Structure 1
Amino acid sequence: MASIPKYYEGKNVLITGGTGFMGKVLLEKLLRSCPKVKAVYALVRQKAGQAPKARIEEMVICKLFDRLREEQPDFKEKIIAVNSDLTQLELDLSKEDQEKLADCIQIVFHCAATVRFNESLKDAVQLNVLATQKLLALAHRMKHLEIFLHVSTAYANCNRKLIEELVYPPPVDHKKLIDALEWMDDKLINEITPKLIGERPNTYTYTKALAEHVVLQESGNLNVVIVRPSIVGASWKEPFPGWIDNFNGPSGIFIAAGKGILRTMRASNNAVADLVPVDVVVNHTLAAAWYSGVHRYTRPRNVLVYNCTTGGVNPFHWGEVEYHVISTFKRNPLEQAFRRPNVNLTSNHLIYQYWIAVSHKAPAFLYDLYLKITGRTPRMMKTITRLHKALMLLEYFTSHSWVWSTDNTTMLMSQLSPEDKKLFNFDARQLHWAEYMENYCMGTKKYVLNEEMSGLPAARKHLNNLRNIRYAFNTILVVMVWRVFIARSQMARNIWYFVVSLCYKFLSYFRASSTMRY
């Protein structure tokens, strides 16, 4: 078989979602590791008055493309921005662009989707289901199309404990749902949404399941692949360790923990945190398209599904995530932290509510009070409110574990040559979690918050000052409790002296035992 770079040589590729997190990494990796690819067409909508071409030019300036820029200075010439809006009729493509894409595209990567968990059902269907349907209609017109790859999510069928590499029956007929949403008003849609999504936690997973079935039903004779990543995080190795550019998913939670704002979280310590590095997903995606492309004439025309997850081959638990995040940010603190990093994970609702009140709301209220007194605008309670909303959306995924079959992924890995295994590595068994988590946390510091490493000494000094303030506060609190309650009550003093004497006797016994041993 041809190698992966050889397969993409001379090909015209279409990418949706190219300005998103995963889309950017896919674009960079494709151009860098398959340097003879002919062109990459990116469907981009106009945003905030900025034309698609200007958005692409602004995007490729970022650090993600530095390595590619060094190796291929003229790489931008291969990126062709196409004005499009996936929510509009015929993707808002001009007739000229439609004909051009129909004549030249050989590979389609459909990465675009709304990843907002709290998106309204109507908008989620529009972006995740209808857009997929429209893109498939365009794909059917492509005269030289070899492969259509749809990026889904491993949580599309999260109502099941065991998730196999197949497309499951949809929760509802997508055509009937689309027809119903056209005449329903927003209030009615919001009322029926919980009943429609059933055991699924949000509209995102629900509509991604519907989109998979649309791909299955409407692909016809197209050569189709579905890749299902789990929780996509910072890069593992490529183009460099720890690259991340947004607050989405776990990244915002890690930053809140590092800043000392997040102190408690509803999660199970033993639940598997199925994080998967973005470069693992991208390498898996490029390899999956290659395999189906080179076997398009010999392989049966069934939809190949790949679960791109880590839990089954290299499990990592939320308790371990918490440990590595906190230890990393204690060694390499974020600037201007609110408190020293420390997070308590609990699956108990009452304990969680207690810690929310004591560790989140009370300090936020006191800090806002201090800001008001000093003539500044209070902001911490608003921050805490936004944080709680984000935690509620993630709670389902931090409290459950799933089992994903990965037979197709194992098969795909076995088909790669030794050179391709190195160049397009998606073997999660090689992932060293402690190293990855440190790079991830440092990535949020450098690339999301834009904090320089030269600021670490000052950040460490600030963290030590916070520790001293905490010790002073606790000392004052103990003295106040003593003065108010214990010093005024004979019974309280007797209990206090009894406890102190017991502690003294225990320490004396421990010291005597140690002396006898030596």
Structure 2
Amino acid sequence: MVNIPEYYAGKNVLITGATGFMGKVLLEKLLRSCPGVKIVYVMVRPKAGQSPQARIADMINCKLFERLQDEQPGFAEKIIAVKSDLTQPELDLSKEDQSILAENINIVFHCAATIRFNEPLKDAMQLNVLATQKMVALAHRMKHLEIFIHVSTAYANCDQELIEEIVYPPPVDYRRLIDTLDWMDDDLVSALTPKLIGERPNTYTYTKALAEYLVQQEAGDLNVAIVRPSIVGASWKEPFPGWIDNFNGPSGIFIAAGKGILRTMRASNDAVADLVPVDVVINTTLAAAWYSGSQTCNRLAGPKNILVYNCTTGGINPFHWGEVEYCINMTFKTNPLEQAFRRPNVNLRSNPFTNQYWTTVSHTLPALLYDGYLRFTGRKPRMMKTITRLHKAMMVLEYFTSHSWVWNTDNLAMLMAQMSPEDKKVFNFDVRQLHWAEYMESYCMGTKKYVLNEELSGLPAARKHLNKLRNIRYTFNTILVVLIWRVFIARSQMARNIWYFVVSLCYKFLSYFRASSTMRY
């Protein structure tokens, strides 16, 4: 077998979802590590008055592509933006573009999807299922197609405890569901959604499971592989550590914790936090396309032998949510975010009642007090709105932070075994080498640098601000203790006796400790 860069040399590649988080990293890595690739077509819809070409031009000028710009200044000539909308008939492709893609494409990476967990079912079906169906139909027209890679999610079958690297049949026939949703009004669909998704937590995981089954059923003689990443986080190594560009998933939670806004969250400390760095997912995806695309026998094997890759870390190098909590608190106390609301001190709680109590005490009441202060000073209140959005985000993630799964990763191990030593270095997805504490620090720092655009030169001022918040907290606690004393203890003889007993006990203990220390020396 040829090595991975040699396989992509001279090939024409099509990517959907190239403007998304994973799509950007895929495009950058493909062009940088496989310089022989011929053309990369990216399907992009016009947005906010920008043409697809303008959107791509803006995208490749961001920080992510700086290394590629230094190494290959003319890389942009290989990118062709194709106007498309995956929700429209025939993907909104012109006849000319359909013909170009049918005649030239060798490899397809279908990454586009809605990642909003609480998307209405009709919209989620449109973006995750029907769009995939249209992409498979387009792939059937491609005369030189070698491999179709479908990017799914490891949580597509989260109703199972043990998740194998197979396509599971969904609880309903996707064809019937498509036909049924076509005539239903939105209110009726909303009422039926909980019954339809069953034990799955949201429409995202449900529709991704349907999309996998659709790919298997409609692939025909296409050569197909499915990559299932778990919770995709900031980059581990490439193109540089800690790159992240959005608030989605855990990133927004980390930032809220760093700002001191998030103080409590429903999660199990012992549950596995199946975070997987985005560059690990992309390296797996590129290697999966190389392996299946290079195998003639796989191309003729048909849909029953679709290779599925569970791209997860929990079974290979487990990391728990309790450890995530510790890393976040330590990193943001050492390297604080600018203008923090309070000192970082997030706590994970598995008991829903305890968590609800601390949510009220640590989130809602301080937000109301702060908004009252803003109103009093003539400014617009904003904290309660932020807290409400934060609570919605936490409710979405609660299912995943309170459960653990076991994923089979035999295909992933097989894929790694097939790679040359050089390919293993360039397209590294061996998470046994991942040091979680270092990764979490670079992830948190990545949210500071690339999401919030905070310069490291501002760290001394941020630390000074954090010390100020600590002093305010100590002052407040002291005043609170004095008030409790004056209101409750000072008025009761029994309370005073208990208080004096505790103080004398502490004094005796300190005196004994002091005497012991003196005698020792």
Q: Which TM-score band (shorter chain)?
A: over 0.9
8 Å Cα contact 2:17-2:44 kept in structure 1 = yes
Which region of structure 1 is more displaced relative to structure 2, 481-490 or 296-305? 296-305
Give the 3-state SS of the residue equivalent to 2:80 in structure 1. strand
In structure 2, the partner of 1:93 is 93
In structure 2, the partner of 1:109 is 109
Once residues 414 and 502 of structure 2 are traced to their aligned partners in structure 1, the CA distance between those partners, rounded to angstroms, is 65
Matches for 1:106-505 after TM superposition, within 5 Å: 106-297=106-297, 300-301=301-302, 302-505=305-508
Give how far 1:508 is off: 3.5
Give how far 1:361 is off: 0.8
TM-score by length of 1: 0.99
**Structure 1 outlier segments of 4+, above 6 Å:** none
Give how far 1:400 is off: 0.4
Once residues 46 and 296 of structure 1 are traced to their aligned partners in structure 2, the CA distance between those partners, rounded to angstroms, is 38
8 Å Cα contact 1:121-1:190 kept in structure 2 = yes
TM-score by length of 2: 0.98
Identity %: 81
Once residues 141 and 508 of structure 2 are traced to their aligned partners in structure 1, the CA distance between those partners, rounded to angstroms, is 86
CA displacement 1:277-328 (0-9 Å, x = unmatched)? 0000000000000000110346633110000000111000001011111101
Give the 3-state SS of the residue equivalent to 2:475 in structure 1. helix
Give how far 1:171 is off: 1.9
Which region of structure 1 is more displaced relative to structure 2, 221-230 or 294-303? 294-303
Once residues 210 and 511 of structure 1 are traced to their aligned partners in structure 2, the CA distance between those partners, rounded to angstroms, is 70
Once residues 303 and 202 of structure 1 are traced to their aligned partners in structure 2, the CA distance between those partners, rounded to angstroms, is 26
In structure 1, the partner of 2:84 is 84
Give how far 1:207 is off: 0.3
Once residues 434 and 465 of structure 2 are traced to their aligned partners in structure 1, the CA distance between those partners, rounded to angstroms, is 33
8 Å Cα contact 2:236-2:242 kept in structure 1 = yes
CA displacement 1:137-183 (0-9 Å, x = unmatched)? 00000000000000000000000100000001112100111111111
Give how far 1:458 is off: 0.4
Once residues 135 and 157 of structure 2 are traced to their aligned partners in structure 1, the CA distance between those partners, rounded to angstroms, is 23
Once residues 212 and 108 of structure 2 are traced to their aligned partners in structure 1, the CA distance between those partners, rounded to angstroms, is 16
Give the 3-state SS of the residue equivalent to 1:213 in structure 2. helix
Give how far 1:505 is off: 3.1
Once residues 85 and 13 of structure 1 are traced to their aligned partners in structure 2, the CA distance between those partners, rounded to angstroms, is 18
Give how far 1:389 is off: 0.4
Give how far 1:233 is off: 0.3
In structure 2, the partner of 1:507 is 510
8 Å Cα contact 1:326-1:342 kept in structure 2 = yes
Give how far 1:511 is off: 4.1
Give how far 1:513 is off: 5.0
Give the 3-state SS of the residue equivalent to 2:18 in structure 1. coil
Which residue identity does 2:363 align to in structure 1? H
8 Å Cα contact 2:292-2:298 kept in structure 1 = no
Once residues 478 and 361 of structure 1 are traced to their aligned partners in structure 2, the CA distance between those partners, rounded to angstroms, is 22
Give how far 1:4 is off: 0.2
- With over 3 angstroms needed to count, the CA separation of the structure-2 counterparts of 1:503 and 1:5, relative to structure 1, is same
8 Å Cα contact 2:45-2:51 kept in structure 1 = yes
- With over 3 angstroms needed to count, the CA separation of the structure-2 counterparts of 1:180 and 1:63, relative to structure 1, is same
8 Å Cα contact 1:18-1:44 kept in structure 2 = yes
Once residues 257 and 506 of structure 2 are traced to their aligned partners in structure 1, the CA distance between those partners, rounded to angstroms, is 35
Which residue identity does 1:278 align to in structure 2? V
- Give RMSD over aligned pairs: 1.1
- With over 3 angstroms needed to count, the CA separation of the structure-2 counterparts of 1:203 and 1:463, relative to structure 1, is same
8 Å Cα contact 1:21-1:245 kept in structure 2 = yes
Give the 3-state SS of the residue equivalent to 1:148 in structure 2. strand
CA displacement 1:399-435 (0-9 Å, x = unmatched)? 0000000000000000000110000000010001111
8 Å Cα contact 1:223-1:296 kept in structure 2 = no
Give the 3-state SS of the residue equivalent to 2:2 in structure 1. coil
Once residues 501 and 254 of structure 1 are traced to their aligned partners in structure 2, the CA distance between those partners, rounded to angstroms, is 44
Once residues 517 and 137 of structure 2 are traced to their aligned partners in structure 1, the CA distance between those partners, rounded to angstroms, is 80
Which residue identity does 2:61 align to in structure 1? I
CA displacement 1:190-219 (0-9 Å, x = unmatched)? 111011111100000000000000000000
Give how far 1:515 is off: 5.3
8 Å Cα contact 1:15-1:40 kept in structure 2 = yes
Give how far 1:512 is off: 4.6
Give how far 1:509 is off: 4.0
Give the 3-state SS of the residue equivalent to 1:391 in structure 2. helix
Once residues 298 and 482 of structure 1 are traced to their aligned partners in structure 2, the CA distance between those partners, rounded to angstroms, is 77
Once residues 424 and 95 of structure 1 are traced to their aligned partners in structure 2, the CA distance between those partners, rounded to angstroms, is 36
